């Protein structure tokens, strides 16, 4: 029996590493996925480790409350992580209850720093099995400070609906390279066609093995993330600049529309991924590594897209770790960066050209407040209102001033949270 359990311990250790890294720092989850402890697992164990880590992160709020109710004092973080994945296995996965407890105790016993706590792990998990906790109350699914901000910004009903989506694993959204191909791709991928068009599929597994991937007929892109580039209406004979371009979905959209595209990003490594995606899709764009606020290039463009660095709280459906990595002070710090980049982007727009500003953040300081401040300090630009249903945006997301506040619950099945504003420069 011990030998059987040992087979599953490396996958569980990898899950703990993912959870711990995700909660320690931004981008920690991606770093954990690149470590040998995860990469060297066989595909089945990798899938289990990832599913366990994500289940833990999606319900981390109520898991913490359940553990706090049974712990007289906080245990070391390593022990708490064992308890976290133990609860997730017992109540959110198909793992039998006895296996969830036994493997958690084995994990504690396997390292000198946690060995003394194996009795605690056993007692806490068995106690929770006798009196199962509630793990699905929306108000507990994200940090209290963040939930309070959502209530203040959008009202209690919207905040509740947004938080309820945290627990759900989302479907995968795809953007077709050409609009006429959407129907054929939908059939091949068992996908639903959303406005835009965007394809939404419940398929799981390695996307590179899905139909038409190798042919370069689609790429992964959330329905909300596909809207900003469409609003530029860039096409043949037009020049377009995609600032902060990586991972490249918006660059692909602009290139597929026929524009001459420059894709700029400060990360050369992430820009390499943009180049790989362009090659797979049979598209071309000039890629430049540099800071969007300091790029020394005198060219002006018909269309400029700034998807600015932000708190990324709107991406929690796919990245629940962002909710727990975010700190209250982050919003103000990032808002200063966004303001600088927005001014730089504006200077690169030709007279009569368009500038689209967007952030995958749910925080008004990073969206609505940025555009209000920009228009008050800089002349020559005005909001070009988004029309009803334009670019595939849900009608409910259209604000009175013609900008978009795309909230996660505005589309059946969910979508990333975004703020999007389209600006026109005077001729």
Q: Catalytic residue positions?
A: 360
Q: For residues 50-61, b (16+ Cβ closer than 10 Å) or e, as one string?
A: bbbbbbbbbbbb
User: Other CB atoms closer than 10 Å to residue 247's CB: what's the count?
Assistant: 18
Contact, 13 vs 45, CB < 8 A? no
- CA–CA gap between residue 88 and residue 92 (Å, rounded): 5
Beta bridge partners of 421: 357
- CA–CA gap between residue 130 and residue 148 (Å, rounded): 32
In eight-state DSSP terms, residue 307 is: E
Q: Scan for tokens 């699905």, then name that residue.
A: 136
Contact, 162 vs 407, CB < 8 A? yes
* Nearest-10 crossing angle of helices 60-68, 43-58: 70
Cα 152 to the chain's mean position, in Å?
23
Helix or strand holding residue 287 (H, E): strand 286-289
In eight-state DSSP terms, residue 398 is: B
Max Cα–Cα distance, the chain, nearest Å: 76
């Amino acid at each position: 029996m011990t030998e059987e359990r040992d087979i599953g311990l490396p996958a569980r250790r990898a899950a703990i590493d993912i959870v711990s890294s995700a909660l320690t720092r931004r981008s920690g989850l991606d770093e954990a996925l690149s470590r040998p402890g995860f990469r060297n697992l066989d595909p089945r164990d990798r899938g289990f480790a990832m599913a366990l880590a994500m289940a833990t992160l999606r319900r981390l709020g109520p898991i913490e409350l359940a553990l706090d109710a049974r712990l007289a004092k906080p245990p070391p973080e390593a022990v708490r992580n064992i308890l976290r994945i133990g609860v997730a296995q017992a109540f959110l996965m198909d793992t039998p209850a006895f296996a969830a407890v036994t493997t958690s105790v084995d994990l504690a016993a396997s390292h000198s720093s946690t060995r003394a706590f194996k009795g605690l792990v056993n007692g806490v998990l068995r106690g929770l099995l006798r009196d199962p906790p509630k793990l699905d109350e929306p108000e507990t699914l994200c940090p209290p400070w963040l939930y309070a901000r959502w209530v203040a910004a959008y009202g209690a009903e919207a905040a509740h609906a947004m938080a309820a989506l945290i627990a759900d694993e989302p479907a995968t959204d795809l953007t077709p390279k050409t609009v006429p191909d959407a129907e054929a791709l939908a059939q091949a991928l068992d996908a639903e066609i959303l406005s835009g068009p965007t394809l939404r599929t419940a398929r799981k597994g390695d996307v590179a093995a899905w139909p038409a991937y190798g042919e370069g007929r689609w790429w992964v892109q959330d329905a909300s993330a596909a809207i900003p580039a469409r609003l530029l209406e860039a096409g043949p004979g037009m020049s377009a600049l995609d600032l902060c371009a990586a991972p490249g979905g918006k660059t692909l959209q602009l290139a597929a529309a026929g524009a001459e595209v420059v894709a700029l990003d400060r990360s050369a490594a992430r820009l390499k991924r943009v180049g790989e995606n362009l090659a797979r899709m049979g598209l071309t764009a000039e890629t430049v590594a540099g800071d969007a606020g300091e790029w020394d290039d005198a060219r002006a463009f018909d269309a400029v897209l700034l998807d600015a660095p932000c708190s990324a709280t709107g991406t929690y459906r796919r990245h629940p770790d962002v909710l727990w990595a975010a700190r209250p002070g982050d919003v103000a710090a990032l808002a200063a960066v966004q303001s600088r980049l927005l001014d730089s982007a504006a200077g690169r727009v030709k007279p009569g050209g368009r500038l689209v500003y967007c952030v995958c953040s749910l925080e008004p300081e990073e969206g609505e407040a940025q555009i209000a401040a920009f228009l008050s300090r800089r002349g020559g630009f005005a909001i070009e209102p988004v029309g009803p249903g334009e670019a595939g945006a849900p009608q409910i997301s259209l604000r009175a001033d013609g900008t978009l506040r795309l909230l996660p619950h505005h589309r059946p099945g969910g979508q990333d949270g975004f703020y999007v504003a389209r600006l026109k420069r005077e001729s």
